[in-house]
């Protein structure tokens, strides 16, 4: 039995057949005589093949088989259920076989699509790295991954072309410097997003690092949480820019100052995108720093015990929240899992600064951090090794990955800021990028992903470089986010971008070709936006795979011509009020 990490597996249908993202919500399953597989209501009898194999062995123990059997016997020796299921708990996915076009994505089985190589995801909680750790990742990339390395929008680093024979040595190297791949994928608590400027920003409300460390120390690899209904995503930030995309995580803690209780966290639950996007909601509670790990554990257990398991495309926490509502969710959390009531708490104020941290910023200790932009998160082993050398040569040994496919280097003495920026620029890591380069992210795409229909990183990179020339004489009022995704599953967060491109087959001039459906005007709460919202789709609007630059140039120029300058109108505001003709 095989499983998909995303929901559900995309079909390569023409534009117009996909559900609209604007206003879409995650609804609970319709009333049915069939049980939903909620353990505390229906019992634990597995209702599908995925639940069966997870109960036999939830995946943590497959590491022993990888080290002692599969790494010695090679790819052909791997049990199919381990290969397509349990391997994911250790950050391993088979990658797409080269040469299979997107039109065949939904017609071939995973076995037909997959190559005998793996993507390996290095888990980096809070995005916190040292130059020593970076150099180890660089060495693994060079020695085992054909120099590949991608910074994801979950603060991880992904490597490709990994052979199962090399996995034990890779683990040995990673774990020697405090890194790993435990529960990097699968139906488990995945990496915890954390503020990239935790502990160093001058305007930080609280450093969330102790809370992240406590959660991972207590619960990473916990057998009781290793069989969740689906993946479980977490985020914690202590920075007022709200820099961890908290509205689209299953659970998130956002720093806030309570008028009586001091600084703590505002609790959010139930956010996720994919094919049925739903923004998270506040429970209205105030969580003290010393309560965060217990509250996180309580919410995770709610998902384990009450989450839907019969249908995988209804198995995220957002569907349970849609059924219960926030009031019941809070009551169950307090009564059944915490044993105490959480006080009411205020919402965090609107951010005053951009949460990607690009540029030069003074730290609380007087030194500086520099946020840099690799195009669509694509780097390489040699680039990472040179980056480690450059940081150490300029007085730094620490850096962070971000939820925006960026890097933040820390602890730079003032006199070294400009010399380091020059070196970083030579590595393709710009501290002062164009606003389009700054706002562009892309998922893995058809190059490596078995779910993808369209190329992403190559197309997005070419578009950014082209647009920087085409729009050089125009002044954008703010960064314009361009998110490019290879299928409908929204790993690149297409519904929350100014311009979101969803990969699918589209009809152009009577011919079905790889392309994108367009979402416009989405975004999360930021300095330019009061609250999060999903993008608008225009029926019939589609872009060919190689037409990103043409479309973006056209719609951005129309925005600049039509926007209400006096009201400081943003692209998202304009996109939601504009006539469909203006968006073509």
Reported as a single tens digit per residue, the pLDDT across 163-202 is 999 999 999 999 999 999 999 999 999 999 999 999 999 9
> Nearest CA to 347 among 273, 212, 495, 247?
247
Residue with tokens 């409908």: 488
Residue 25: per-residue pLDDT: 67
Which residue, 553, 554, 580, 558, is CA-closest to 569? Answer: 558
Predicted confidence at residue 534, as pLDDT, reads 97
pLDDT given at position 33: 76
Angstrom CA distances, 74 to 8, 94, 97, 480, stand at 30, 13, 17, 46
**What pLDDT is recorded for position 17?**
32
Closest CA to 257 of 209, 178, 203: 203
* Low-confidence residues of the chain: pLDDT under 50: 1-24
Q: What is the chain's Cα-based Rg? A: 23
3-class SS shares of the chain: helix, strand, coil, % to 5: 35, 25, 40
User: What confidence score (pLDDT) does residue 80 get?
Assistant: 97
Structural tokens at position 353: 């600064």
In the chain, what's the furthest Cα-to-Cα distance?
69
| 477 vs 55: CA distance, rounded Å | 53
Query: Which of 460, 468, 469 has the alpha carbon at shortest distance from 492?
Result: 460
DSSP string, 305-333: HHS--S-GGG-SHHHHHHHHHHHHHHHHI
Residue 543 and residue 537: Cα distance in Å, rounded?
A: 13
pLDDT at 23: 41
Residue 144 tokens read as 């085992």
pLDDT confidence of residue 26: 80
Supply the pLDDT for residue 29.
72
Q: What is the pLDDT of residue 4?
A: 39
Report d(CA 182, CA 175) in Å as an integer.
Answer: 10
């Amino acid at each position: 039995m095989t499983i998909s990490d995303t929901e559900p597996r995309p079909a390569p249908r023409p534009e117009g057949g996909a559900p609209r993202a604007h206003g879409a919500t995650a609804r609970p399953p319709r009333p049915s005589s069939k049980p939903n597989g909620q353990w505390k209501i229906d019992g634990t009898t597995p209702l599908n093949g995925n639940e069966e194999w997870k109960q036999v062995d939830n995946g943590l123990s497959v590491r022993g088989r990888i080290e002692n059997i599969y790494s010695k016997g090679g790819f052909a020796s791997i049990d199919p259920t381990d290969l397509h299921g349990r391997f994911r708990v250790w950050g391993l996915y088979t990658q797409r076989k080269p040469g299979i076009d997107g039109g065949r994505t939904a017609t071939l089985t995973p076995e037909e699509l997959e190559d005998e190589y793996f993507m390996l995801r290095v888990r980096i909680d809070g995005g916190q790295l040292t130059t020593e750790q970076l150099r180890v990742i660089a060495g693994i990339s060079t020695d085992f991954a054909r120099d590949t390395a991608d910074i994801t929008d979950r603060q991880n680093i992904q490597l490709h072309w990994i052979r199962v024979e090399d996995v034990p040595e890779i683990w040995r190297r990673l774990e020697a410097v405090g890194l790993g791949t435990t529960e990097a994928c699968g139906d488990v608590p995945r990496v915890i997003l954390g503020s990239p400027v935790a502990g160093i920003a001058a305007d930080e409300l609280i450093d969330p690092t102790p809370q992240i460390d406590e959660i991972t120390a207590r619960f990473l690899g916990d057998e009781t949480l290793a069989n969740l209904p689906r993946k479980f995503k977490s985020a914690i930030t202590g920075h007022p820019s709200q820099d961890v995309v908290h509205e689209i995580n299953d659970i998130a803690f956002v720093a806030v100052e309570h008028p009586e209780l001091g600084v703590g966290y505002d609790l959010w639950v139930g956010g996720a995108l994919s094919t049925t996007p739903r923004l998270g909601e506040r429970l209205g509670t105030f969580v003290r720093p010393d309560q965060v790990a217990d509250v996180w554990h309580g919410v995770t257990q709610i998902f384990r015990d009450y989450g839907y398991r019969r249908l995988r495309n209804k198995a995220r926490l957002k569907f349970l929240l849609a059924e219960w509502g926030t009031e019941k969710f809070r009551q169950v959390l307090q009564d059944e899992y915490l044993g105490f009531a959480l006080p009411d708490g205020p919402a965090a104020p609107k951010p005053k600064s951009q949460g990607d941290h690009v540029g030069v910023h003074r730290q609380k200790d007087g030194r500086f951090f520099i946020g840099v932009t690799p195009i669509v998160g694509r780097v390489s082993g040699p680039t990472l090794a040179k980056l480690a050398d450059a940081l150490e040569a300029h007085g730094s040994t620490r850096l962070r990955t971000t939820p925006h496919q960026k890097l933040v280097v820390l602890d730079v003495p003032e006199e070294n800021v400009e010399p380091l920026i020059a070196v970083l620029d030579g590595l393709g890591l710009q501290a002062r990028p164009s606003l389009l380069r700054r706002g562009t992210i892309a998922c893995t795409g058809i190059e490596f992903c078995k779910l993808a229909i369209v190329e992403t990183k190559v197309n997005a990179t070419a578009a950014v470089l082209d647009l920087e020339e085409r729009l050089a004489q125009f002044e954008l009022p703010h960064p314009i986010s361009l998110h490019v995704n290879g299928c409908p599953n929204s790993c690149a967060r297409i519904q929350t971008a100014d311009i979101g491109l969803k990969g699918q087959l589209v009809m152009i001039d009577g011919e079905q070709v790889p392309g994108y459906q367009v979402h416009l005007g989405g975004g999360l709460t930021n300095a330019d936006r009061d609250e999060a919202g999903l993008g608008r789709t225009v029926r019939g609007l589609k872009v060919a795979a190689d037409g990103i630059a043409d479309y973006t140039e056209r719609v951005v120029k129309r925005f600049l011509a039509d926007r209400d300058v006096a009201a400081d109108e943003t692209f998202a505001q304009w996109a939601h009020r504009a006539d469909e003709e203006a968006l073509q």
